[in-house]
Amino acid sequence: MLSYRVNPELELRLLQAPDAAALFALVDANRASLRTWLAWVDGMVNRIEADKFIARATRDHQATRAFSAGIWWSGRLVGVIGHNHIDWTVRIANPGWWLVPAAEGRGLMTQCCRVFFNHAFTQLQVNRIVVGVATGNLRGQAIVQRLGFTPVRTLVKAEWLNGRAVDHFIFSLLPSGGKAGPADAGPSTRPRL
């Protein structure tokens, strides 16, 4: 998924080195709100950190371990969606996503997630998608519930966030709401990301 147009105004595009300035500017301008639920925000202190993030994402993409796509809305970068990790031995993907507040409340992320997860099941042939959402993160939980994820457990003290240990609800999604994957592909086949 190098680039995908979700609708005329909304596009997902693999983050690349020239996007670092826009990524840093976006995070820096929305630092106060983003840091509420995203632990990495405090570490992105300058443009160099954005360069490093994209370089790491590019390496992970080349190694088919993970990938991160920018979310462009009316031509402006407004967030990121990615697979933080794909475990090919069991074909489980662990995605993550964020939007700046100015782009919230319009269903943009729900649409992006739908496309992204459909791609994961049909193109990448993952067998399951698993995501942890902080128990206090109601907007984060609303998305996974809207998309049909099932809560499977609570992971106590799953993350260190703003000086405290935070619990996660772990949600899981199977293709077609619970059936086995299209091919139940095993570890040997690794598609291009």
Ligand X SMILES: CC(C)(COP(=O)(O)OP(=O)(O)OC[C@H]1O[C@@H](n2cnc3c(N)ncnc32)[C@H](O)[C@@H]1OP(=O)(O)O)[C@@H](O)C(=O)NCCC(=O)NCCS
Residues found near ligand X in the complex (CB under 6 A): 37-38, 96-99, 104-110, 131, 133, 137, 139-140, 142-143
CB-based burial label for 67 (10 Å; 0-12, 13-18, 19+) = buried
> Residue 28 Cβ, how far from ligand X at the closest point, in Å?
16
Q: Concatenated DSSP letters for 31-49?
A: HHHHTTT-GGGGG--SHHH
Question: What is the number of the residue whose Cβ is closest to ligand X?
Answer: 107
Distance CA 84, CA 91 (A): 13
Residue nearer to ligand X on the CB measure, 108 or 166: 108
Minimum CB separation of residue 114 from ligand X in Å reads 9
CA distances from 5 to 10, 32, 66, 102, 183 (A): 6, 30, 20, 20, 27
Name which of 160, 136, 156, 133 is nearest 145 in CA terms. Answer: 133
Q: Which is nearer to ligand X, 170 or 185 (CB)?
A: 170
Q: Which is nearer to ligand X, 27 or 143 (CB)?
A: 143
Q: Are 94 and 82 in contact (CB under 8 A)?
A: no
Compare residues 67 and 97 and give the one whose CB is closer to ligand X: 97
Name the minimum Å distance from CB 171 to ligand X.
10
Shortest distance, position 74 Cβ to ligand X, whole Å: 14
